[in-house]
Amino acid sequence: MASLSCSPADLAQFFGPNTTNPTAAASYLCDQFTAVSNKFVDTNYAIDTTYLLFSAYLVFSMQLGFAMLCAGSVRAKNTIF
């Protein structure tokens, strides 16, 4: 995946002639983009962890179901003694 970077020098040229301090405005926007990007990283980590825990729960539940199936198929008539 491509890495997106925000440079105030590149962004300042897009502000019109009426902007008093285009570098400060561009720097502020870049800081906001960085903050949003960091929140997406945190959210991505949380979603991955939730998916992993839910998948582990499903596997554990399937093992319990298989144990109940095996326990139900063992009857007294199938024993050797």
- The answer to whether residue 12 sits within a structural domain is no
More confident residue, 3 or 39: 39
- The answer to whether residue 10 sits within a structural domain is no
Residues in the chain: 81
pTM of the model: 0.50
Domain that holds residue 44: 24-73
Predicted pLDDT of residue 13: 74
**What pLDDT band is residue 62 in, cutting at 50, 70 and 90?**
very high
Residue range 22-41: mean pLDDT, rounded = 82
- The answer to whether residue 4 sits within a structural domain is no
Cα distances (angstroms) measured from residue 30 to each of 23, 49, 59:
10, 29, 44
Q: What's the rounded Cα separation, in Å, for the pair 78 and 62?
A: 25
Q: What is the pLDDT of residues 3-21, one digit of tens each?
A: 567 777 777 777 777 778 8
HSE-CB for 16 with a 13 A CA cutoff: 1
Determine how many CB atoms are found less than 10 A away from the CB of residue 28: 13
**What pLDDT band is residue 1 in, cutting at 50, 70 and 90?**
very low
